Structure 1
Amino acid sequence: MIRGIRGAITVEENDSHLILEATSKLLKDMIKKNNINPERVAQVIMTVTDDLDATFPAKALRAIEGWTYVPVMCMREIPVPNSLEKCIRVMMTVETDVSQEKIQHVYLEGAISLRPDLASK
């Protein structure tokens, strides 16, 4: 079965080091909580809000051992008025036998407000 695993995190400012550090933290948490093997990942899509342009968050994934060949793409989030600022979102498309309700989506820092119902799982 193919499933999507969501994650999001916020940063305090538009700084390349902070963006990569936060993205790495988010990705590692998603990988650990869902026992993800990169060989079973079809793609990773990352979005950032308009106020984050200091670096590509995909660099954080490339720094994780074993993830060299996983396709990853960075995009801009839709700039909805009054939406959460300085936010990095991730969608991993993975092959898994885990049921949809058992997938562990990860929301950290200010991004908990996006899905508090899932962040507390």
Structure 2
Amino acid sequence: MHHKVCFTDPTMGTSAAKYLAEKYADAKTALFYNSGDTYGSGVADAFARQAKASKLDIVDTETFKDDSVTCFTNQLTRAMRKIKIEGLTGELTWNDEGQVEKPATAYVIQDGKYIAA
């Protein structure tokens, strides 16, 4: 009887989360990983644990199941739908095509006074 044993290196995921927390503490983060691979899943799990401990804002987790995947449009679009940005003109969100749902409004300010939008 043969058993397959896979070891993962959680330090890679932990280190990545610590780096992001240090350099991009206020950023919104999406976690993408290969769920069909034990190593990738282990690194992603370690990243998620450290991200939580470091108070990173993970807005979405997306997976793919094959290392040959080269297009991540679907995953990126799903992740973007979960990001909301508060700005001067209100909240920006994205639609299913990855386009901004509410375009930003330009304000005209002259000599410190609001003139038009």
TM-score (norm 1): 0.37
Larger RCO (CA under 8 A, 6+ residues apart): 1
- Which one has the largest radius of gyration? 2
